[in-house]
Amino acid sequence: MKLLGNNPAFCFINNEWVPGCSAQRVPVINPSNGEVLCEIARGTADDIDIAVMAAQAALEGDWGRASAAERGRVLHNIGAIILDHAEELAELEAHDVGKPLKQARADVVALARYMEFYAGAADKVHGATIPYLNGYTVYTMREPHGVTGHIIPWNYPMQIIGRSVGAALAMGNAAVLKPAEEACLTALAFGELARLAGLPKGALNIVPGFGAEAGNALAQHPLVRHVSFTGSVDVGKLIQESTAHHVVPLTLELGGKSPQLVFEDADIDVALPFLVNAGIQNAGQTCSASSRILVQRQIYDQIVEAMTQMYTDLRVGPAMDDLDLGPVISKRQKEIVEGYLDRGRDLNLVAKGQVSASAPEGGSYVAPVLFADVPPDHVLAQEEIFGPVQVVIPFDDETEALAIANGTQFGLVASVWSRDGARQMRLAKKLRAGQVFLNNYGAGGGVELPFGGTGLSGHGREKGFEALYGFSSLKTVAALHGS
């Protein structure tokens, strides 16, 4: 933990490390062994207020005066310094979140890519001129909202900081970040690296702590002009209520029950690794995980058999052992997943992976589980489990596949496996999802690709250029100068 010193129990405000107002701390547990990794500050509403005021001051200071090109240059420098510290960040994330080292390394690269993408995009968001009445010139321009609030979860701290804080800073907002209490060390390290890379003071402020305290205070703060939230549906609804109070725009990314539709003409060899990896990546704790595999009956037995074999070979162990899966984030999360497995006792459990002998007793390990022949309306085929559990569901034809695919309250990601181009196009139109993949699946991937959902999956889009529109507001200027 070189980057954070021996004690990361501070808030990052105005480019300085300050103790939280309450002086209370929250222990951070290493999910690989159940031991206390360190303590973080228990940020309060007062800390949030100080952070928001620092962000507001930054907008009126150096950061607010920076040109779009200058903002881009700083983001570029942050991307470079992240890559310089890649291994340290990856190890920090692996210890904190429990994800296998190779996944943590991939997350570091993604974080750097977000910085690079938004660095390049910062000065390329143009307005338009609009033909209007004679004697007028009308044009539009994009302006930052002001102070933006970012409440993020523990599953992909680095990636979510990249897509949310990166886009907000590119557009000239000043950000206040509330990382998750379960895993926030790379968020804090990001603050330090941003400072070293030359980000002006106050442009980014980080207050760790509990959701109901620091998170709630951030969502309700009257000077926060946009909130970006990634997390559970229940908390998303609370945030929507909080922001409604000040009529503040909001991006909600709340998860899903994303299906992959596998037709009898699919290239099965290409499909299989995608089918499984999209379910077990990050131990299934991925908003865009594919937890439902819909398979046409002609190839159903073949797919179930192949997936069974793949599941039986999966190994779960400590993050630093770098196996297929790490532990889930906490004992509580393990209990939630096991609760679902219990509700699936009546189902056909066809395969289970193995927890490695090297996994310490105190870790929160869950062996990945595959169920077949699952009725589409079963709770395991309807609710987001957020653990390494996939269900396989048979279908007869395209109409039935579509009805099953669209038959949950979520709508985040879907994929179609078929060589029939017309079918791909039909389904891409009709699937209820923010992203549709044709003959591939991109759980969490794609810095350049707009991402977000419908229904209980949330609203608004992050990633790609689309995020830059979300993190800015459009002003129309109409000048009457006469002909």
User: Where does this chain bind ligand ADP (CB under 6 A)?
Assistant: 151-153, 178, 180-181, 210-212, 215-216, 219, 231-232, 235, 238-239
How many other CB atoms are found less than 10 A from the CB of residue 396? 10
Place of tokens 């209520």: 241
Q: How far is residue 469's CA from residue 157's CA, in Å, rounded to a whole number?
A: 22
Beta strand ranges found along 91-235 (DSSP E): 129-130, 136-144, 147-151, 174-178, 204-206, 224-230
> Nearer to ligand ADP by C-beta: 235 or 278?
235
Q: How far is the CB of 159 from ligand ADP (least distance, A)?
A: 14
> Nearer to ligand ADP by C-beta: 155 or 415?
155
Helix or strand (DSSP H, E) at 343: helix 331-343
Kindly tell me the burial class for residue 274, based on how many C-beta atoms sit within 10 Å of its own C-beta (0-12, 13-18, 19 or more).
buried
> Nearer to ligand ADP by C-beta: 219 or 467?
219
> Nearer to ligand ADP by C-beta: 208 or 344?
208
- 155: Cβ contacts below 8 Å, ≥ 6 apart: 97, 282, 285, 286, 287, 329
Specify the amino acid at residue 376: P
> Nearer to ligand ADP by C-beta: 152 or 248?
152
Q: How far is residue 414's CA from residue 220's CA, in Å, rounded to a whole number?
A: 34
- 229: Cβ contacts below 8 Å, ≥ 6 apart: 151, 219, 235, 236, 239, 250, 251, 252, 253
Helix or strand (DSSP H, E) at 306: helix 297-313
**Which string of DSSP letters, residue by residue, matches 144-180?**
E-SEEEEE--SSSHHHHHHHHHHHHHHTT-EEEEE-B
> Nearer to ligand ADP by C-beta: 336 or 428?
336
Selecting among 287, 384, 398, 462, the annotated active-site residue is 287
How many other CB atoms are found less than 10 A from the CB of residue 254? 25
For residues 142 and 127, is the Cβ–Cβ distance under 8 A?
Answer: yes
Token readout for 207 is 């207050």
Q: How far is the CB of 64 from ligand ADP (least distance, A)?
A: 27
For residues 103 and 154, is the Cβ–Cβ distance under 8 A?
Answer: no
Place of tokens 């609203």: 459
Task: Identify the sign of the CA torsion 194, 199, 200, 203.
Answer: negative
Q: How far is the CB of 184 from ligand ADP (least distance, A)?
A: 8
287 is catalytic: yes
> Nearer to ligand ADP by C-beta: 181 or 324?
181
> Nearer to ligand ADP by C-beta: 152 or 250?
152
Selecting among 116, 253, 384, 398, the annotated active-site residue is 253
Strands of the sheet with 129-130, listed across from one edge: 129-130, 136-144, 472-480
Token readout for 301 is 């037995």
**Residue whose CB is nearest to ligand ADP in the complex, by number:** 211
3-state DSSP call for residue 205? strand
> Nearer to ligand ADP by C-beta: 178 or 432?
178
Q: How far is the CB of 280 from ligand ADP (least distance, A)?
A: 18
383 is catalytic: no
Q: How far is residue 166's CA from residue 336's CA, in Å, rounded to a whole number?
A: 32
For residues 101 and 90, is the Cβ–Cβ distance under 8 A?
Answer: yes
3-state DSSP call for residue 74? helix
How many other CB atoms are found less than 10 A from the CB of residue 85? 18
> Which residues are annotated as catalytic?
253, 287
